A and B are shown apart, each in its own frame.
Chain A
Amino acid sequence: MSPSIVNFVYLVAGILFILGIKGLTKPKTAVRGNTLSALGMLIAVVITLLDSSIVNFNYIIAGVLVGGIIGATMALKIQMTSMPQMVALLNGFGGGASLTIALAEYYDNLGSAPSSFDELLTPVVTSASAFGQGAEGTIALVSIGLTVLIGAVTLTGSFVAFTKLQELMKKSYGLPGGPIGNGILLLAATVAVIALVLNPGNTVAMVSIVCLALLLGLFLVMPIGGADMPVVIALLNSYSGIAAALAGFILGNTVLIVAGSLVGTSGLILTQIMCVAMNRSLANVLFGKMAAGGDVVDAEQIYAGKVTSAQPDEVALMLEMAERVVIVPGYGMAMAQAQHAVRELADAMEAKGAEVEYGIHPVAGRMPGHMNVLLAEAEVPYDKLVEMDRINPTFEDTDVVIIIGANDVTNPMARESEGSPIYGMPILNVDKAKNVVVIKRSLSPGFAGLPNPLFAMDHTLMVYGDGKKAVIEMTTALNQA
């Protein structure tokens, strides 16, 4: 197979990937887009298998079988509530794949691979020319070093993100000195990359890059709290793409570069959207805590005597009269597995002639777009899922807002109370509605640790208890009314 035919097919694959993402710009064309993208992947793989340098198919068949079975099992068994965990794992595997490709390329060009641990650390006499002629050798080496670095960080970082999302790791751990400790690790890894480029046979440098970068991945993510995971998995998504693009520079492979940079930008854009939605800088998410201080707000003072609670059947009476209702779901809805019950309540209200929409805050859930997937699974039509900027102007004409499992994203302090840690964060202006119903276990604060003055407002009713049970009771009462 001549290289020009291979490259032409890679171009076609690249176009199919682009069309695939373009398909994702509309729910109607999204499935077709995904299929096109998968087709691009298939032809890229097939044309690569026809390459004459591939002579040994044993490892390939074994790898594809093992990977295919694991991948298919994960994809078909995963619960939609656990999607963030799956994406975290896939990010990690992507980083791991780039890491191992770069290592394989390194030892292949080195011409001698270690057979024991001692040999692993024994320098080999070689020069950059083993990796390519003239400047190309140096560039290949730089690419190898950086791919190993970013790939390894993505691998362990994603693994930590997974354990946090799965709630296997509940505490936060960090290096002494926080960002300074991480900075020293990154600096040491960078020095090792430079040492490798200057002396390609320096296998100790290669082993050092791997170890330092694996550690860096661990310590970068371990200090970050669970509620910040949407930012972290978007960022690691981006890293896995950048690692793939860099691997493309090692191999001189065009389709790797195109696909890798698309994934890299996608992750970065999502990271930025998440940061804007939390009104925090990326540096603050990665290294800081929520801005401490501001005036200490006394929850007692805000809530004392002003909170009105109600029973689900009282709420049902109110819902029966309502003409327009907006449901605001948060991660608590997913925890209570209440999305189907919520859909049934919406059906019951629509049967009584009400207009029902869902107001979705960008950081609702544990990853970008998570809430939409959960509601789509419960067969809520996607045109009822309205993003923050479009739903906010409608609250004044809304009779009832039902908040289930959300807290900080509805806190009016973000709008009004200058000096509050969440001041400036864009929120859903639910307090503008005529009535607000909050379904919640207690008055306990959300992630930001702040009391929510919304709960004490005159037009707010608190329904205490399990979200799913409360919603089902409302539906039953409404159907009987």
Chain B
Amino acid sequence: MEILILLLALFVLSLFLGVELITKVPPTLHTPLMSGTNAVSGITLVGALLAAGSDSSPVLVNGLGFIAVTLATINVVGGYLVTNRMLAMFKRK
């Protein structure tokens, strides 16, 4: 239960931090912000790795883990690359 309270505290504080940070992003960069946060949400890759690589589990778990790894990797790789491509255009001048 104590752990839950800690996680909940982390969650709530992150929400407040998120509001403070995101409201300072200028409208010019809102599209890269969206693709960049897509990449960050690919952090689910961490959970996906644990599911795909676990041992004791039945094959279904590994199979679901494989799908999760694939989808999360698309987000991470695709998200960071396309964001970088866009931001490089803004940097040019």
Contacts and interface: CB of A to CB of B under 8 A. Distances in A.
Contacts of B50: 48, 51, 53-54, 251
Given A48-B46, A83-B82, 17 more contacts: A21-B33, A27-B87, A27-B90, A41-B40, A59-B66, A67-B74, A87-B31, A94-B41, A94-B75, A105-B51, A250-B47, A253-B46, A269-B19, A360-B28, A367-B31, A369-B28, A387-B26
Interface string A93-120: 1101110110111011000111100000
A203 to B, nearest CB: 12
A70 B74 contact: yes
18 contacts: A21-B40, A30-B87, A55-B55, A71-B74, A80-B86, A93-B74, A108-B56, A112-B58, A135-B4, A237-B38, A245-B11, A260-B44, A265-B22, A369-B30, A369-B31, A379-B93, A382-B93, A387-B26
Nearest to A62: B66
A418 B47 CA distance: 53
A262 B86 contact: no
Contacts of B43: 13, 17, 41, 44, 244, 255-256, 259-260
A107 B64 contact: yes
A265 B14 CA distance: 9
A266 B37 contact: yes
Interface residues of B, number: 84
Nearest to B24: A25
A227 interface: no
Interface string A256-300: 111111111111011001000000000000000000000000000
Contacts of B55: 53, 55-56
A41 B73 CA distance: 11
Contact of B51 (A62, A76, A104, A255): A104
Given A100-B71, A261-B15, A376-B90, A24 B25 contact: yes
B41 A96 contact: no
Interface string A57-96: 1011011101110111011101010010011001101101
Interface string A130-143: 00001110010000
Contact of B75 (A90, A113, A115, A261): A90
B93 A113 contact: no
B31 A63 contact: no
Interface stretch (A31-39, A171-179, A212-220): A31-39
B82 to A, nearest CB: 4
A264 B65 contact: no
A56 B53 contact: yes
Contacts of A27: 26, 28-29, 87, 90-91
Given A139-B4, A257-B11, A31 B68 contact: no
Given A27-B90, A257-B14, A54 B53 contact: yes
A373 B38 CA distance: 17
Contact of A64 (B23, B51, B56, B73): B73
Nearest to A77: B82
A330 B89 CA distance: 20
A19 to B, nearest CB: 10
A44 B27 contact: no
A128 B60 CA distance: 21
B34 A63 contact: no
Which residue of A80, A115, A250, A265 has the most chain B CB atoms within 10 A of its CB atom? Answer: A265
A470 interface: no
Interface string B1-31: 1011001001100110111011111111111
A17 B29 CA distance: 17
Contacts of A101: 44, 47-48, 51, 64-65, 68
Contact of B37 (A55, A112, A262): A262
